[in-house]
Amino acid sequence: MASGTSDTRPLSPHLSVWRWHATMLSSILHRFSGIVNYIGAIALTVWLVLLASGAEDAVAIFTSGSLSWLTAIGLIVLTWSASYHLLNGIRHLAWDIGKGFDPAGSNMRSILIIALSFVPPALIWFFALSGGAS
């Protein structure tokens, strides 16, 4: 910038300036679900390696006893995370081709994606806990 001239670009607004909307929440959830997917992939890999190595005692720690409820919650959260990340990833693909940038529609789609992200895990866990489709 030349000396003597003022920078007329706006400063980055603080969080207190922004009014929360669904697209902001969708962006945060997309990042969060990516992190959960990453950690879940590592945890599932460790579990599969334990199974493959014949460490039944180590696997039993996670599937029975005091950690079984934590394992179940972790698997449910991982299922939701994968579902949300997939649905929001489809929206990102639409954005890559230049579709869906209108503010009102983007907010509506964010709400729809957040709501629909609970359907696949609910169906998966319903069928898993009921013994599958009969």
8 in any annotated domain: no
Report the number of distinct structural domains present in the chain: 1
Averaged pLDDT, groups of 10, the chain, 134 residues long: 64 74 94 97 91 83 79 94 97 95 95 98 94 67
Provide the pLDDT for residue 22: 94
CA dist 81 and 94 (Å) reads 20
pTM over 0.95: no
Provide the pLDDT for residue 6: 67
134 in any annotated domain: no
* Residue ranges making up the domain that contains 67: 22-129
